[in-house]
Amino acid sequence: MKRVLLFIIATLLLSGCLSHWIIENEVRLQIENKTPHTILSLNVVSLDSSMQKQWIKETLLPGERSSVVSSDWVGSFNLNVLYLKNGELDTLSHVFESVSLEGGSIFAQISEKSGFWTFKQK
C-alpha cells in the first residue's frame, strides 16, 4: 500500500509545472547571420502552415549575432527567415523545413551561398 501511495505522489510531482524542473521544454536561441544579406526576423511556422509566430525580431547585418531569445518551441517546425538582399528594398523570405528543436540552448548559423541556404545548429 505504501508503494502505491509513493508511486502516486511521484507521478503527481512529475506532472504539470513541476516537470519543468526535470524536462527542458524551453529553447534559448541565438542566431548568427553568415549570409551576405540583412536578416530582419526569424519566424516559427507550424508544419501545416496554420500558425506563424515571430521568434527573433532583430536586424542582423552580415556577420552579426542576435540576442538570446527564449521560447517554448520544442518539436519540429518550419523556420521562416525574412531578409533584404543587398541593394534591394523588397523583403524576401526563405523557409527551412522540418527543423527539429530540442530543449536547451541553441546557437545557429544561417548561411547562404549560390542560393543554397543552411541552418546549422551548434
**pLDDT one digit per residue (tens) for the chain, 122 residues:** 778 777 777 766 665 555 455 556 789 999 999 999 999 999 999 999 999 999 999 999 999 999 999 998 888 999 999 999 877 778 999 999 999 988 889 999 999 999 899 999 98
Give CA–CA dist 47/8, Å, rounded: 36
For the chain, first and last CA: distance in Å? 48
pLDDT value of residue 77 = 95
CB 104 within 8 A of CB 27: yes
User: Any bridge partners for residue 104, and if so which?
Assistant: 27
C-alpha cell at 97: 523545413
pLDDT value of residue 22 = 55
Query: pTM for the complete prediction?
Result: 0.77
